[in-house]
Amino acid sequence: MSAVPVQSAKQALRRAINRRLKAVPPAEVTQDSAAVVAHVLASPWYKRARNISCYLSTPTGEVNTDGIILDALNSGKSLFVPFCPIDEPTVMRMLRLRSVAHFEGLKLNRWGIRELDPEEVELLEDGEARSSRATPRTLLTLLTVEHESAGGLDLILVPGLAFDKQKRRLGHGRGYYDRYIEATQDYATRFNKPSPFTAALALRAQIVGEDEVLPTNELDKLPDVLVTPDEEIH
């Protein structure tokens, strides 16, 4: 499938999935999220991770990650969350939360998502790499001493709009995570380190049926594991 039909198919599926997710009762999101979080916290790949990237979840339509973030911070893990600068619409950085109080003090944006204060961003430790406008071979930015002190990320928890049982993922269309994961792989290659383990988190309503096609292209990155309320798909 060529690039244009793939993009058209993705847009059509996004509309269909968004309609489906709007109909999911909040209680179902809460129940599914609790089951996914329990899978994550019990997993060996989470337990051994020291530097974790986790998305800040929306109120509806995706797995709520508050329980993972609180557990990581309370367990002494380094927890990094995404920040997308307004003046750089294709850039995503991962910045470290200082504490539980820091997390709980984050203000909600107009979509009800916690977000970092742009005024404090440059005071926070950066995870390692950034997604950027650059071509795939030059996604990695210059690393600072802070990046090295963080040791690099070893687990990335990935959001998405829809998934299938083959771990294919449909994002929201901006490519932040695909670029960021590629950047971390470049980082790992450059410094002779393992690439971060990637785990995508999904509600039951986000899993497409066997009769639904989830379109992908060569830029789409498969996670190492897809975690649903019912299972882990490796």
Residues in the annotated binding site: 10-14, 56, 62, 169-177
d(CA 162, CA 170): 5
Per DSSP, the three-state class of 202 is coil
* CA–CA–CA angle 105, 82, 125 (5° rounding): 75
Give the strand pairing for 197-201 and 225-227.
parallel
Q: CA angle at residue 37 from 12 to 78, to 5 degrees?
A: 105
Dump strand ranges (E) for 131-212. Answer: 155-158, 162-163, 169-170, 197-201
Instruction: Give φ, ψ of 173 to 5 degrees.
Output: 110, 0
Binding-site members for ATP are 10-14, 169-177
Backbone angles phi, psi at 77, to 5 degrees: -80, 155
Tell how strand 225-227 and strand 162-163 pair up: unpaired
CB-based contacts of 95, cutoff 8 Å, min separation 6: 80, 81, 82, 83, 116, 121, 124, 125, 126, 127
Among residues 234, 113, 219, 222, the alpha carbon closest in space to that of 163 is found at 222
Annotated binding-site positions for substrate: 56, 62
Give the tokens for residue 13.
Answer: 């599926």
